[in-house]
Chains A and B, each alone.
Chain A
Amino acid sequence: MPARAAWIIVIATSVSLGSCSYQEVNDPVLEVPRRVDTEPSQSLEYDPTVPASPSALRKLTRQEYIESAVALFGDEVLVPPTSEPDFITGGLAAVGAGTTTYSPRGVESFEEAAYALAKQAVEDSGIRSRVVTCEPSSESDTECFGQIFRPFMRRAWRRPVTDAEVAKAVSLAGEAAAATDSVDMGIQFGLAFTLQSPYYLYRIELGDGEELGAYEIASRLSFFLWNTAPDELLLDAAETGALATYEGLRDHAERMLADPRARSGFRSFYHDYLQLAELDSLSKDPTIYKAYTSALGPSSAEETLQLLEYLTFDLDADFRALMTTTTTFVDPTLAAIYDIAAPTSTGFARVNLNPTGPRAGLLGHAGFLASHAHPTSTSVTLRGKAVRNILLCQEIPIPPVGVDTSIPEPSGTAPTMRDRVAEHLQDPSCTGCHLLTDPIGLALEKFDSIGRFRETDNGYEIDASGDLDTVEFDNARGLGQAIAAHPAFTKCMARTMMRYALGRLESDAEAESHIDTLEARFEQSGYRLQALALEIVLSPMFRQVGGVER
């Protein structure tokens, strides 16, 4: 395929990593230790012999459904709640969207939501001015209906629409207008048809067996960087062929990264990556945790998102600072948990925590500490498992059935959690997995189940020292530094962001080659997340697709 060969050559000769302007990181709190691995860097060039993988039909995630509607109708639209939950596969809802099937209940709610959205389009004057671009003179004013639907359908379906497709919407509109004696009702039915179509409810990025089509690239790019449907500029670029060249794709990706919508797009990725949806249903026992309120879940998710947004866009910083920085964002709810003066009476503000205090980076965030804990106690296993699974992409085998997993109650001889879990760490049938998780969790024991700092457990001083894969540390801060320096941490980020962009797991061949190359390029960029996103867009995995079994 000549076109494809040309593409590979362009990549191979383009060692430069784009032209983002990188802001110097001069925040003194951002200290990241050196990597501890001594492996030689992987090749910076993608191996062209790795076969491309097929791409799956992607359901819209809950957030994508909402943001797509906002892109179509404008900020003032009220997107009705729908009943299709996100399902997690490979750690991500973005991947689950490519493997699971819409439920009948979800489809039912999309039908209702389509009419609720269409109604606003004719009744809200602001939305109407954007969508209803022509006023039909009668129910048979097919030309005017067509003028409304053609651009709307192009935006909604993220591709040009055929005359027959427009005619179908026009015909439904005419039928509805005649039956109800209202051209507005006709418009609503035409719009509602568009919003129930599989062309709207799926991201169709299937390619031709080798590469994505230009509009499919626009869709993948837009949902990846902005978490919403492509804008007119991007669709136009697909139409003119601009996205088919390396430079064109790079220019658009850079334009999009510089756009405020990228902040919202990256927030969506971070939300998925760190499984922050768990915090929506956070529940703690307030009789034990006096500082707990139902605001903690949403506030703590926002803290993590704001810090990541700040590191990514305001500082364009080394991503590993996520684990070590004492800069964070708090509202009064979190300030109370962190025992600091609230910087504002409402909403969030950036604060610098005590640079030598116990709390630093993600491991000090109430959200991380609380969501990987029980309602009435901490859990060294859940916290350790979260670090292994989410941050290091390491799989912990599922617990065996038929094992009594209870840990002994606190006693005179075993007062602290460390004493109590010591049994797990001695029983050979438990150590295999619990040695991977529990020492990590024990390092976080000075934070209770809602993330408040404590020195003691049951009146006994907590020992938070340990080691992570032979790197020793004294406390949670030291663990954060050990994770930041762990070779699996940055590779895990590269792999996870790639999975998010593609909505699928990588093949074994891709895992062993392309992901390593991506990580090497990530390293070369100074581990900057915008650069990683750009690398992903320009990688062969982003646009090449293999054939599927029919």
Chain B
Amino acid sequence: MIITRRSMLRGLFAGGAVSLGLPTLEMFLNVNGDAFADGSSFPKRFVLWFWGNGVIPTKWTPETIGANWTPSEQLSALSDWTQDVSVITGFEVKVDNLKAHLSGPAGFFTGIDVKVQGDDSSFRAASLDQVIAQSIGGETVLRSLEVGIAPGVKGLSFNGVDSQNPPESDPVKLYQRLFGPTFTEPGEELKIDPKLALRRSVLSAVMDDANALRQRLGANDKQRLEQHLDAVRDIEARLLKLESAPPNFEGCTRPAEPVPDEYLTVDGRPPMPVRNAIMSDLISMAMACDLTRVVSVWHCDPVGDVLYPGATSGHHQLTHDEPGDQPQFNEIVKSIVSHFGTFVGSLKSVGEGDGTLLDNSVVLGCSDCGLARTHQIDEYPILVAGRGGGRLKTGLHVRSDVKDSASKVPLTVMQALGMPVTEYGQDGTHVSSGLSELEA
């Protein structure tokens, strides 16, 4: 079952417009404000963490199965995190693989193969991050947040066909959007800008005003306009939220503003570890402050050609043209995996109740193909971190020797987040049971 964004919004406005304005979370917090009154549930968060250009499965797959897995060559950077991260190997995205680099993520994130027309392509449905945001993202200032690590990354977050969400890959801009003038740190006096209410009136007028236009549109344009107006409605709800006190989470503090000199590209080579570290901390703080509960991180794009230090060609080009064992490409994968580890570590460093932010999160990491050189989408590389508030086991290597459907993973993830879903995908990608090994 998929809850559409609009039906959900209609529900919110028809049934609960007033509750949106209240400091919902604070009402339910205990006296110390460090956990909810019932002692249990901090909000659950979801992060999709994607990198382009695949791996080398023979160097990726750990040799041992189950708990206490031994890191493989390409997963060596996760040696500190083997108890926090599960590795899922041997699974296949069950689509036709018509378009290199895109069929895999389309099948995995939407359950349907990609739409290709000449050089143009689009997912045919909302991507997993947006489906999840529609379900669990409604209460926060931002329904979802899309972040790029490599400069100018385009990402693969879709609201539906031909409707893509551009990630923010400039750390200062991301900081300003999250922690700029609109941000109130817990404990700070909330200063309500009188213009917020006026801006809401304007947004309301904009929506009313579109009625006459709607009448003139064909079905396709009407759908495009509705999505635009959904976004306007979202801004209106967001401005209203800014008028109430933020939730008082212990882990939430205003982070330092990034300094551009530290992350600028030098000699055509972006400092990826620095960019990743800055973005990881901004994202974990955005979730710790409950500005958003759903984030997609686009480390680098499919076919992206980031130049890494010492590499003689761009990332994607190396996957194809580097001969033999591909030592340079291997190092790039190892470095990307270390960035994933940095991100997991950042979530784990934020305390939340008796545990950490990571405990209340599900992080799903994956790439666009298995063996990069030939774009295989069997041996699809998948990483899962976080306990989903106790719904997931962690620290396992789960392997399928029969090319099981990769769709089991998104289904398990959504169920761990509390979504009332019983199936995922359609036709070849369809599954009605998740990955029981991961389920706590």
Bound CA–CA A281/B151 (angstroms): 9
Bound CA–CA A88/B162 (angstroms): 11
Bound CA–CA A338/B232 (angstroms): 50
Q: Which residues of A contact B223 (CB under 8 A)?
A: 101
B218 touches A550 (CB 8 A): yes
Known contacts being A89-B120, A111-B235, A374-B314, is A404 close to B168, with CB within 8 Å? Answer: no
Known contacts being A285-B268, A401-B374, is A84 close to B235, with CB within 8 Å? Answer: no
Bound CA–CA A430/B23 (angstroms): 62
B268 touches A286 (CB 8 A): yes
B163 touches A100 (CB 8 A): yes
Known contacts being A91-B119, A287-B267, is A189 close to B228, with CB within 8 Å? Answer: no
Q: CB-nearest residue of chain B relative to A54? A: B218
Q: Which residues of A contact B225 (CB under 8 A)?
A: 57, 198, 202
Bound CA–CA A101/B223 (angstroms): 9
Q: Which residues of A contact B201 (CB under 8 A)?
A: 172, 175-176
A99 touches B213 (CB 8 A): no
User: Closest Cβ of chain A: how far from B148's Cβ, in Å?
Assistant: 11
B313 touches A374 (CB 8 A): yes
A180 touches B160 (CB 8 A): no
Q: Mark B351-375, 1 if CB is under 8 A from A, else 0.
A: 0000000000000000000000111
Contact of A196 among B160, B195, B202 (CB under 8 A): B202
Known contacts being A104-B143, A175-B198, is A56 close to B221, with CB within 8 Å? Answer: yes
The answer to whether the Cβ of B66 comes within 8 Å of any Cβ in the partner chain is: no
B152 touches A281 (CB 8 A): yes
Q: CB-nearest residue of chain B relative to A106? A: B166
Query: Which stretch, A44-52, A306-314, A405-413, touches the partner chain B?
Result: A405-413
The answer to whether the Cβ of A548 comes within 8 Å of any Cβ in the partner chain is: yes
Contact of B219 among A89, A96, A549 (CB under 8 A): A549
A111 touches B203 (CB 8 A): yes
Known contacts being A197-B206, A401-B99, is A90 close to B120, with CB within 8 Å? Answer: yes
Q: Which residues of B contact A286 (CB under 8 A)?
A: 267-268
B206 touches A375 (CB 8 A): no
Contact of B118 among A54, A90, A96, A399 (CB under 8 A): A90
The answer to whether the Cβ of A7 comes within 8 Å of any Cβ in the partner chain is: no
Q: Which residues of A contact B432 (CB under 8 A)?
A: none
B227 touches A102 (CB 8 A): yes
Bound CA–CA A477/B120 (angstroms): 31
Known contacts being A54-B218, A375-B305, is A83 close to B166, with CB within 8 Å? Answer: yes
Q: Mark A166-206, 1 if CB is under 8 A from B, else 0.
A: 00100010011001100000000100110011110110101
The answer to whether the Cβ of B159 comes within 8 Å of any Cβ in the partner chain is: yes
Bound CA–CA A54/B320 (angstroms): 43
Bound CA–CA A198/B217 (angstroms): 13
Contact of B231 among A107, A206, A374 (CB under 8 A): A107
A283 touches B374 (CB 8 A): no
The answer to whether the Cβ of A403 comes within 8 Å of any Cβ in the partner chain is: yes
Q: Which residues of B contact A83 (CB under 8 A)?
A: 166, 168
Known contacts being A286-B268, A409-B323, is A103 close to B313, with CB within 8 Å? Answer: no
Q: Which of A287-325 contact B (CB under 8 A)?
A: 287, 292
Q: CB-nearest residue of chain A relative to B377? A: A401
A105 touches B166 (CB 8 A): yes
The answer to whether the Cβ of B234 comes within 8 Å of any Cβ in the partner chain is: yes
Q: Which of B228-252 contact A (CB under 8 A)?
A: 228-232, 234-235
The answer to whether the Cβ of B199 comes within 8 Å of any Cβ in the partner chain is: yes
Bound CA–CA A549/B221 (angstroms): 10
User: Closest Cβ of chain B: how far from A83's Cβ, in Å?
Assistant: 6
Q: Which residues of A contact B163 (CB under 8 A)?
A: 100-101, 103
Q: Which residues of A contact B313 (CB under 8 A)?
A: 374-377
The answer to whether the Cβ of B436 comes within 8 Å of any Cβ in the partner chain is: no
User: Closest Cβ of chain A: how far from B261's Cβ, in Å?
Assistant: 16
Contact of A104 among B154, B160, B165, B221 (CB under 8 A): B165
B166 touches A376 (CB 8 A): no
A374 touches B205 (CB 8 A): no
A285 touches B164 (CB 8 A): no
Bound CA–CA A404/B218 (angstroms): 45
User: Closest Cβ of chain B: how far from A185's Cβ, in Å?
Assistant: 8
A105 touches B165 (CB 8 A): yes
B162 touches A101 (CB 8 A): yes
Q: Which of A530-550 contact B (CB under 8 A)?
A: 548-550
A395 touches B118 (CB 8 A): yes
User: Closest Cβ of chain B: how far from A187's Cβ, in Å?
Assistant: 13
Contact of A199 among B209, B217, B220, B222 (CB under 8 A): B209
Known contacts being A57-B221, A111-B235, A375-B314, is A198 close to B159, with CB within 8 Å? Answer: no
User: Closest Cβ of chain B: how far from A97's Cβ, in Å?
Assistant: 11
Q: Which residues of A contact B373 (CB under 8 A)?
A: 404, 406
User: Closest Cβ of chain B: how far from A294's Cβ, in Å?
Assistant: 8
A103 touches B166 (CB 8 A): yes
Known contacts being A56-B220, A376-B312, is A402 close to B97, with CB within 8 Å? Answer: yes
Bound CA–CA A172/B222 (angstroms): 26
Task: Give the interface size bracket for B toward A.
Answer: 35 or more
Bound CA–CA A269/B216 (angstroms): 29
Max count, chain B CB within 10 A of own CB: residue among A106, A165, A283, A550: A283
A196 touches B227 (CB 8 A): no
Q: Which residues of A contact B118 (CB under 8 A)?
A: 90, 395
Contact of A189 among B164, B202, B231, B317 (CB under 8 A): B202
Q: Mark A263-287, 1 if CB is under 8 A from B, else 0.
A: 0000000000000000001011111
Q: Which residues of B contact A406 (CB under 8 A)?
A: 320-323, 373
Known contacts being A107-B228, A108-B231, A377-B313, is A57 close to B205, with CB within 8 Å? Answer: no
B199 touches A401 (CB 8 A): no
Q: Which residues of A contact B165 (CB under 8 A)?
A: 103-105
Contact of A172 among B205, B217, B322 (CB under 8 A): B205
B218 touches A549 (CB 8 A): yes
Contact of A405 among B199, B202, B216, B320 (CB under 8 A): B320
User: Closest Cβ of chain A: how far from B48's Cβ, in Å?
Assistant: 16
A57 touches B224 (CB 8 A): yes
The answer to whether the Cβ of A513 comes within 8 Å of any Cβ in the partner chain is: no
B194 touches A180 (CB 8 A): yes
Contact of B213 among A56, A198, A409 (CB under 8 A): A198
A103 touches B231 (CB 8 A): yes
Q: Which residues of B contact A453 (CB under 8 A)?
A: none
The answer to whether the Cβ of A347 comes within 8 Å of any Cβ in the partner chain is: no
Q: CB-nearest residue of chain B relative to A114? A: B202
Q: Which residues of A contact B154 (CB under 8 A)?
A: 85
Q: Mark A389-425, 1 if CB is under 8 A from B, else 0.
A: 1000001001101111111110000000000000000
User: Closest Cβ of chain A: how far from B195's Cβ, in Å?
Assistant: 7
A85 touches B120 (CB 8 A): no
Bound CA–CA A416/B211 (angstroms): 63
Q: Which residues of B contact A87 (CB under 8 A)?
A: 162, 164
B305 touches A374 (CB 8 A): yes
Q: CB-nearest residue of chain B relative to A87? A: B164
User: Closest Cβ of chain A: how far from B327's Cβ, in Å?
Assistant: 13
Known contacts being A88-B120, A374-B314, is A100 close to B162, with CB within 8 Å? Answer: yes
Known contacts being A111-B235, A375-B307, is A179 close to B198, with CB within 8 Å? Answer: yes
User: Closest Cβ of chain A: how far from B155's Cβ, in Å?
Assistant: 10
Bound CA–CA A402/B96 (angstroms): 12
The 22 listed contacts between A and B (C-beta, < 8 Å) are A54-B218, A56-B221, A101-B227, A111-B232, A172-B201, A175-B201, A196-B203, A197-B209, A198-B225, A202-B225, A283-B268, A284-B268, A285-B268, A375-B305, A376-B317, A395-B118, A398-B99, A402-B375, A403-B374, A404-B373, A407-B321, A408-B323
Q: Which residues in A have some Cβ–Cβ distance to B below 8 Å?
A: 54, 56-57, 83-85, 87-91, 96, 99-108, 111, 115, 165, 168, 172, 175-176, 179-180, 189, 192-193, 196-199, 201-202, 204, 206, 281, 283-287, 292, 374-377, 389, 395, 398-399, 401-409, 548-550
- A87-B164, A89-B120, A199-B213 known; 10 new pairs, CB 8 Å cut-off, are A57-B217, A101-B159, A101-B228, A102-B224, A102-B228, A108-B231, A198-B228, A374-B317, A375-B317, A403-B374
A-B pairs, top 4 by smallest CB distance, nearest first, are A548-B218, A101-B163, A107-B231, A104-B231
